[in-house]
Amino acid sequence: MLRNKLFTPLFLVSIVIGGALSAFGQTAPVSGHVEMKKADGSVVRVEKATVDCYRSDVALGCRSTQTNSRGEFTFLGIPFSGKVILAVSGPGLSPVVFPGAKPGQDDIVIEVVEGDGSTLTEAEVREQEALFLANPTGELTEDQKKAQEEFEKKVAEVKAKNEKIEKKNQIVERTLKEGNAAYTAANYDLAIAKYEEGIEADPDFVGSAPVLLNNKGAALKKRAVDEYNTAAKTKDQALIAAAKVKAGADLAASLGAYDQSWKILASAKAEDITDQNNYKGAKTNAADGGRDAVRIMVLIKTVDGNKTEAAKELTGAYIAGEVDKKKQAEAQANLAAYLFEGGDFDGSVAEYRKAYELSPKDPDVLAKFSLALYTVAEANQNAAMKQESLNVMEAYLSAAPKDHSLRADIASLADYLKTTEKMKPQKMN
């Protein structure tokens, strides 16, 4: 989604050309046409311009209409003694106030110029009429000149800001399109470069930055996986080790991109969120992408301790939005493994405990939970935790299939605790 442009309406007083009066009965029409002078000097009549009519002698409106194909408008039934204000607006026009119309005038010409298509409220229209009545000759006082200068300065600032925003929008649209094309073609280096160019154009804007950051995270992750898998197929340990380093750097950067996206989305103000579906989709993609980056980092053992907080934040966000307990437990266990690989054994135990509570019969959760418990218990000579680790091991051995990858190691460790340390397993709560 792209940022909306900012506009400041221009209030213009139009000119009467002609003005024949004709009265009949107690009411009279007010009519005329709307025209625009083009850049080449030609004058064209404006079709489908909105003309709003207000009485200035009383606090009443007198309807609205649109100009016909010849740019003409007519208001009937205006009391002959009444006074009328006309306001013209329309797509591509600057709003215009005509403050001096009189019933019976049938050849009013209202000149308009190109603009932002904004409209004026009744209060703004009446305010413009009051300014006209205070200075019908158009001569500006010193205060008015100063106010006009300030107004023109603000208009120039808004115009410059609009141009800057438009340039950013163009960069974002182009880089997103080019980045996606490069990603589809598996040219991840180019995709990442394009996404980064788009991010730099407007790095904090909730309408574009999170999408580009999520896409950058996906491209970094895909490049890391491809790099590692290609090396793994060679069986060359030196190549695999080098690929692991590169993949680790890409995965850490991927996790960082997803986390940056999440932070922008989480701190966005309500008024800046113009599309709730896109906003929610970006949050889901950031949390899920971060969770997957953590999973892969654990899988190939390339954990980055500097990204621990990002791993915690995004895993927590993913779990909060996921209703499937098995998937929640998997994400929780991956975070626990991430902490374990990074040397935070106490933190790892705490996260494995959460995973166990979510999925108490999952062999992978039970196996790694028991090993984390044992590691912390052994380091701290904590007998109660060592007992708990044995209890979890026994629960694992009961639940795990015979060919589970950790079965032999855990069976051996459980046997050691029972025979050498004379511990007896207790049933898990």
- pLDDT band, very low/low/confident/very high, at 18 (cuts 50, 70, 90): very low
Pick 250 or 17 by higher pLDDT: 250
* pLDDT tens profile 40-96: 888 999 999 999 999 988 887 778 999 999 999 999 888 888 889 999 999 989 898
* Rounded Cα gap, residues 295 and 318, in angstroms: 13
* pLDDT tens profile 161-216: 878 888 888 999 999 999 999 999 999 999 999 999 999 999 999 999 999 999 99
Residue 239: other Cβ atoms inside 10 A: 14
* Rounded Cα gap, residues 52 and 422, in angstroms: 94
* Rounded Cα gap, residues 20 and 372, in angstroms: 96
**Nearest in space to 54 (alpha carbons), one of 34, 81, 78:** 78
Q: Look at residue 307 in the predicted model and tell me its pLDDT.
A: 95
Contact of 298 with 321, CB cutoff 8 Å: no
Residue 127: other Cβ atoms inside 10 A: 14
Residue range 11-21: average pLDDT?
Answer: 36
Q: Look at residue 81 in the predicted model and tell me its pLDDT.
A: 83
Structure tokens that stand for 400 in this block: 């795990």
Residue 4 pLDDT > 80? no
CA distances from 176 to 173, 190, 274 (A): 5, 12, 19
Task: Based on DSSP, count helices (H) and strands (E) in the chain, helices before strands.
Answer: 12, 9
* Cα three-residue angle 410-411-415, rounded to 5 degrees: 115
- pLDDT band, very low/low/confident/very high, at 8 (cuts 50, 70, 90): very low
pTM above 0.85, yes or no: no
Q: Look at residue 242 in the predicted model and tell me its pLDDT.
A: 96
Where do the domains of the chain lie, and which CATH numbers do they carry? 12-138 (2.60.40.10), 325-429 (1.25.40.10)
**Nearest in space to 396 (alpha carbons), one of 381, 377, 374:** 374
Alpha-carbon torsion 224, 216, 324, 298, what sign?
Answer: positive
Which residue matches tokens 């051995």?
397
Pick 130 or 299 by higher pLDDT: 299
Cα 414 to its chain centre, rounded Å, is: 51
- What's phi and psi for 52, nearest 5 deg? -100, 135
- pLDDT band, very low/low/confident/very high, at 139 (cuts 50, 70, 90): low
Q: Find the radius of gyration of the CA atoms of the chain.
A: 36
* Rounded Cα gap, residues 61 and 63, in angstroms: 6
338 Cβ partners below 8 Å, 6+ apart? 294, 297, 298, 303, 308, 311
- pLDDT band, very low/low/confident/very high, at 400 (cuts 50, 70, 90): very high
Half-sphere exposure (CA, 13 Å, Cβ side) for 291? 21
* pLDDT tens profile 360-395: 999 999 999 999 999 999 999 999 999 999 999 999
- pLDDT band, very low/low/confident/very high, at 144 (cuts 50, 70, 90): low
**What 3-state class would DSSP assign to 51?**
strand
Kind plus residue range of the DSSP H or E element containing 202: none
DSSP state of 48: T
* Rounded Cα gap, residues 51 and 70, in angstroms: 14
Residue 217: exposure state from Cβ atoms within 10 A (0-12, 13-18, ≥19): buried
Query: Strand 96-101 and strand 84-89: pairing?
Result: antiparallel
* pLDDT tens profile 227-286: 999 999 999 999 999 999 999 999 999 999 999 999 999 999 999 998 999 999 999 999
Average pLDDT over the chain, rounded to an integer? 88
**What 3-state class would DSSP assign to 422?**
coil
Residue 154 pLDDT > 90? no
- pLDDT band, very low/low/confident/very high, at 25 (cuts 50, 70, 90): very low
Residue range 83-110: average pLDDT?
Answer: 90
* Rounded Cα gap, residues 331 and 299, in angstroms: 13
Residue range 304-322: average pLDDT?
Answer: 96
**Nearest in space to 386 (alpha carbons), one of 358, 414, 362:** 414
Instruction: Go through the chain and tell me how many residues it has.
Output: 429
